[in-house]
Structure 1
Amino acid sequence: MKVLFSKTVYFLIISVALLGIINSTAALLLGFVYTLIFNNPFKAYSHKAIHYFLKISVVGLGFGMFIKETFETSKEGLNLTIYSIFLTVALGSLLTRVLKLDLKLGHLITSGTAICGGSAIAAISPVIRARSETISIALGIVFLLNSIALFVFPAVGHFLKLTQEQFGLWCAVAIHDTSSVVGAALGYGDEALRIATTVKLSRTLWIIPLSIVSMFLFKTKREKINIPYFIVLFIGAIIINSCHILPEPATHFIVLMAKRLLIITLFIVGSTISMKDLKSTGIKPIILALTVWIFISIFSLLYILN
């Protein structure tokens, strides 16, 4: 009976999110509170759902963008992307050795912070042959910081009176996962969301060179590199919208549904956060992740403001 009730509440929250009644921050918080009360009955499927829902949502958002604007936005964020990735990887590698952390764990946390959180960790972990326990710890820490970012970044953005352009760029660089980037930007404004999504996805392509570098660092040259193919679909959606192939009401509806699916995704992300898993990680990996994250957040913010 209790299991049936918990499942009913779960789908009720998803229905509310689909109707657009709650925002991204509330969805994440509801997910976390839900799993504390009921213990997520769908935990085994949650990470796969996040994986697919996020990609579908991002492709859907492409139907609200245009080629010229997207190209200009990607170009504007290129220098900051290059600087931030190189500095983050360098600092993370140094701190991993100073803290005497497992090199593969340190590399996964650093890679997740430098590029795109869980996606980077998922792509690089098979390349360096990381153990499942190491992957779980890295993912747990990144999910925790993503959750914090959803609350902190919009508050800081409003306090500093950042424009939508500034906030979108800052989110794309300083927040780990694409889901949290678009979640934070979603409530800040449509322009912030467009810029955050575009810059974050162009940043995601850096998974490929980082994976190649990782092969040489850990001497695993025959491993397969996971390429984020959904970015091609995202670009295809932008081209379709730019050529006005679909009527405007149709593209508006697709974008609206994509935004609501993102809110559902954030609820599922919240429902996967486990206090037990976080307690078992130890303090050193959290120190590494926090230090690198705070550094890249401050560096990117100062770069954007100046």
Structure 2
Amino acid sequence: MQLSPVRTLPSRLVLRGRDVLPGALVCAAIAVVATVIGSFVPVLGSALPAIIIGVIVSAVRRPGPRIAPGIGYSGKFLLQCAVVLLGAQLSIAAVLRVGAESFPVMISSLAVCLLAAWLIGRAMGIERRIRTLIGVGTGICGASAIAAVSPVIKAKSAEISYAISTVFLFNIVAVAVFPVIGHLLNLDPHAFGLLAGTAVNDTSSVVAAASVFSAEALGFAVVVKLVRTLMIIPISIGLAGMEARRSGDGERLGLRRIVGLVPWFLVGFLVVTLAVSVGLIPPAATQALTSTSVFLVATALAGIGLSTDLGAIRRAGLKPLGLGAILSLLVTATTLTAMALTGAIG
């Protein structure tokens, strides 16, 4: 007699734990080292050292199959858990206020990015699907956006790999460069959170860059980034319509598929924020949740660093990398311009 899924759940969880534990422990060990480094050099924080250590270790020796599952688990799931816990820093009123404030800046940079990806990518002779993937990856939320729109435009696996490798390179660059830009422009934590949340493409890099800049910038940057992540939905719907007109066989986006585009960690973030707003989470627990989130960020970024495939970035070629660089610069410039026009910076 076959056991029901509920009855087999404990054994499946144990097996899953055995798979991910070795790699997760490696990432946690790197996070501990990064936290110690950050305590001695506060300006670095723990996020940047964690990802740098991970990249160096990966370049010296690629992780083997024994720890690979845990590295992937840390780089994705633990980061999402960290984002959920960051909701303890904010109230629902603050989230709505941040969303309304950031929307004009966010929509301006997204429009410029997508238009530039189409025009400049075509002028550079980059294949349509690759330039679309790099455009949405840079303009919305990195690999998550690429994964969401890939089936919509029928992208091939090689095209997806090129786009993710290209966008990932500029994720790493953003972690080191954006805090420097913020300090050079004398941005306060509020303004830097808006800049990072709008102009840095991947959630992990937004969290890392904001963590390096200041703890005060982190919560604001994450809210801006999560609002920006929701743009996956209208962009995917629009691309589905364009693909259907072009080929007649584009993937249809029904209600179930549209709902599925909303990341679970966005929902979790809002649930935690709501719990704080109504007093279900006491102030004493907020600091503990925030500290846990910071360590999970370092652990996740260690996993992302260990997952870095420098060879794949090299194989992506110069043209996609060039387009990624141009789009990243345009998004940053547009964001700063929009912030100045809307009074977010002086």
Q: Same fold, TM exceeding 0.5?
A: yes
Q: Which of residues 264, 283, 304 in structure 2 aligns to 1:248? A: 283
What per-residue deviation string (whole Å, max 9, x for no partner) do you get for residues 199-245 of structure 1? 11011001000111111222213264533232121111101011111
Question: Which of 114, 123, 129 pairs up with 1:89?
Answer: 114
Amino acid paired to 2:33: V
**What is the rounded CA distance, in whole Å, between the counterparts of 1:120 and 1:52 in structure 2?**
16
| Residues 1:289 and 2:324 are matched in the alignment | yes
Tell me the distance in 1 between the aligned counterparts of 2:311 and 2:251.
36
Query: What is the Cα deviation at residue 43 of structure 1?
Result: 3.8
Distance (whole Å) between structure 2 residues aligned to residue 201 and residue 210 of structure 1: 15
**Cα gap change, 1:77/1:284 in structure 2, threshold over 3 Å: closer, same or farther?**
same
Question: C-alpha displacement at 1:251, in angstroms?
Answer: 2.3
Alpha-carbon contact 2:28-2:299 (below 8 Å) kept:
no
Q: Distance in 2 between matches of 1:53 and 1:200?
A: 17
> Which aligned pairs between 1:28-177 and structure 2 lie closer than 5 A?
28-41=51-64, 42-43=67-68, 46-177=71-202
Q: Does 1:261 align with 2:286?
A: no
Aligned twin of 2:337: 302
- The 1:8/1:259 distance shift into structure 2, 3 A limit, reads closer
Q: Distance in 2 between matches of 1:9 and 1:172?
A: 29
Q: In the comparison of the two structures, how many residue pairs are matched?
A: 302
Report whether the alignment pairs 1:203 with 2:238: no
Aligned to 1:116, the other structure's residue is in SS state helix
Q: Give 3-state SS (helix, strand or coil) of 2:109's partner.
A: helix
Question: Where does residue 222 of structure 1 map in the other structure?
Answer: 252
Gaps of 5+ in 2: 1-22, 40-44, 245-249, 342-346
CA RMSD of aligned residues (A): 2.2
Counterpart Cα distance in 1 of 2:219 and 2:115: 29
* Partner deviation per Cα, 1:165-201 (whole Å, 9 max, x = no partner): 1111000111110111011101222331121011110
Q: Which runs of 4+ in 1 moved over 4 A?
A: 6-11, 17-22
Alpha-carbon distance in 1 for matches of 2:216, 2:262: 28
Task: Tell me the alpha carbon deviations over residues 222-275 of structure 1, each in whole angstroms, 9 at most, x when there is no partner.
Answer: 264533232121111101011111222222211210111011111111112222
Shift of the 230–283 alpha-carbon distance from structure 1 to 2, 3 Å rule, reads same
CA 30–88 in structure 1, closer or farther in 2 if over 3 Å, else same:
same
* CA gap 1:169/1:8 in 2 versus in 1, 3 angstroms: closer
Alignment partner of 2:151: what SS?
coil
Q: Secondary structure at the match of 1:246?
A: coil
Q: Which letter maps to 2:251? A: K
Larger mean CA deviation between 176-185 and 216-225 belongs to 216-225
Supply the AA of the counterpart residue of 1:152.
V
Question: Which deviates more from structure 2 when the two are superposed, residues 223-232 or residues 126-135?
Answer: 223-232
Residue 156 of structure 1: how far off its partner (Å): 1.3
Q: Do the aligned partners of residues 255 and 185 (structure 1) sit closer, same or farther apart at CA in structure 2, a change above 3 Å counting?
A: same
Q: 2:315 aligns with which of 272, 277, 280?
A: 280
Q: Report the equivalent of 2:6.
A: none
